[in-house]
């Protein structure tokens, strides 16, 4: 478990991470989302003791990471896939990591096989492609068989097969009861991989909820209801307008925002209105995320490309 209490990091005048209170629990994949510059990497670096908090604390199972006798056996992390000695072979890079943590060298070949780079283990790590480098980084994170795993943008540069492999790996690590904390900008991928989502913007917590709850909270989730009789449509529309955020008519259909399908069905029943369709059309995680972070995007771009010309 990772516990953040009032975690804050300031760089001069600017606040990168702003009083974060958060618990990241075992047995599930927690996605860590936020616009560029939101403070995700800084938070992960503070958890690993690579950056010192200005205020507050980041604890790993109740202690600062550095106080664990075998750090790689507690937390395995991939923060920057390029952070390795470019002339060292992939295997030697892992052997050096293993030795510094008292991990048997036999484990190196095991993790190289696990991530699918065993055949090129003798190659210079600096000559690895972006995707192979990511796999090697993941191998490093798995080396100490840790209870907690943190990945900063792990699918960056991976081909579709690799992306799927990372998804399955994370799901299986969480199913084994481990804590998996992963940052990503790929919403469709996070929708498939994560159980829980933590969203931050400008260093502050915006949401900490199960994926389904984040999506359900979006105003883009609507209920489509098809009514064959005109009179029935009008009656239902009037009743729904009183409690919905929005009701839109489209021929024999109403599109309702802010009222769940169960409630729409109950109202239709009470009013004696016959229905031919009652469907919830869920927002995508991307839509929900865009809505949540609309006020926190620091590095926005012109929506109209022609405005740049
Ligand atoms: N060493 C540093 N010195 C000064 N400012 C820094 C430093 N490291 C990060 N920052 C600033 O802190 C803020 C948070 O950066 P951080 O890299 O943690 O964001 P992020 O959410 O990981 O972004 P991205 O999605 O772009 O990777 C940014 O405004 C960044 O410019």
- Rounded CA separation 88/170 (Å): 28
CA distances from 202 to 34, 264, 291 (A): 8, 38, 15
To the question of domain 2-216 being in CATH 3.40.50.1820, the answer is no
Nearest to 250 by CA among 271, 282, 277: 277
CATH number for the domain whose boundaries are 222-281: 3.30.70.980
Instruction: Say what the pLDDT of residue 174 is.
Output: 98
Ligand 1 atom nearest to CA at 9: 12
Instruction: Say what the pLDDT of residue 218 is.
Output: 82
- The domain segmentation of the chain, as residue ranges, is 2-216, 222-281
Instruction: Say what the pLDDT of residue 179 is.
Output: 98
Best of 37, 47, 53, 150 for a ligand 1 pocket test (most atoms within 8 Å of beta carbon) = 37
Instruction: Say what the pLDDT of residue 299 is.
Output: 64
CA distances from 129 to 88, 132, 141, 185 (A): 15, 5, 18, 21
Q: Please give all residues whose beta carbon lies within 6 A of any atom in ligand 1, as ranges.
A: 11, 16, 34, 36-42
Best of 4, 41, 78 for a ligand 1 pocket test (most atoms within 8 Å of beta carbon) = 41
Instruction: Say what the pLDDT of residue 302 is.
Output: 58
Query: Which of the residues in the chain have pLDDT under 50?
Result: 309
Taking the complete model, does pTM exceed 0.90, yes or no? no
Cβ neighbours of residue 218 closer than 8 Å, sequence gap 6 or more: 283, 287, 288, 291
Ligand 1 atom nearest to CA at 17: 14
Ligand 1 atom nearest to CA at 45: 18
């Amino acid at each position: 478990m990772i516990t953040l209490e009032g975690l804050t990091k300031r760089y001069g005048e600017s606040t990168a991470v702003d009083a974060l209170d958060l618990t990241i629990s075992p047995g599930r994949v927690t996605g860590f989302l936020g616009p560029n510059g939101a403070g995700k990497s800084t938070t992960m670096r503070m958890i690993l003791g690579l950056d010192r908090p200005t205020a507050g604390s980041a604890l790993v199972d109740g202690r600062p990471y550095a106080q664990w006798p075998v750090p790689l056996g507690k937390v395995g992390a991939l923060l920057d896939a390029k952070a390795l000695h470019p002339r060292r072979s992939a295997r030697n890079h892992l052997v050096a990591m293993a030795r510094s943590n008292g991990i048997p060298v036999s484990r190196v070949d095991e993790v190289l096989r696990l991530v699918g780079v065993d055949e090129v283990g003798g190659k210079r790590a600096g000559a690895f492609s972006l995707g192979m480098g990511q796999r090697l980084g993941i191998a490093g994170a798995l080396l100490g068989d840790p209870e907690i795993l943190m990945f900063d943008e792990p699918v960056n540069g991976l081909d579709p097969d690799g992306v799927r492999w990372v998804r399955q790996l994370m799901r299986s690590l969480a199913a084994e009861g481990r804590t998996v904390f992963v940052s990503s900008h790929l919403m469709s991928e996070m929708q498939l991989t994560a159980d829980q989502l933590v969203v931050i913007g400008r260093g502050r917590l915006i949401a900490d909820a199960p994926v389904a709850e984040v999506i359900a909270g979006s105003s883009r989730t609507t209920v489509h209801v098809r009514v064959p009789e005109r009179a029935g449509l009008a009656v239902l529309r009037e009743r729904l307008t009183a409690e919905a955020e929005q009701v839109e008519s489209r021929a024999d259909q109403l599109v309702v925002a802010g009222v769940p399908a169960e409630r729409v069905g109950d109202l239709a029943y009470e009013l004696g209105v016959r229905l031919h369709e009652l469907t919830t059309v869920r927002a995508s995680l991307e839509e929900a995320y865009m809505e949540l972070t609309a006020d926190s995007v620091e590095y926005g771009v012109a929506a109209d490309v022609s405005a740049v010309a």
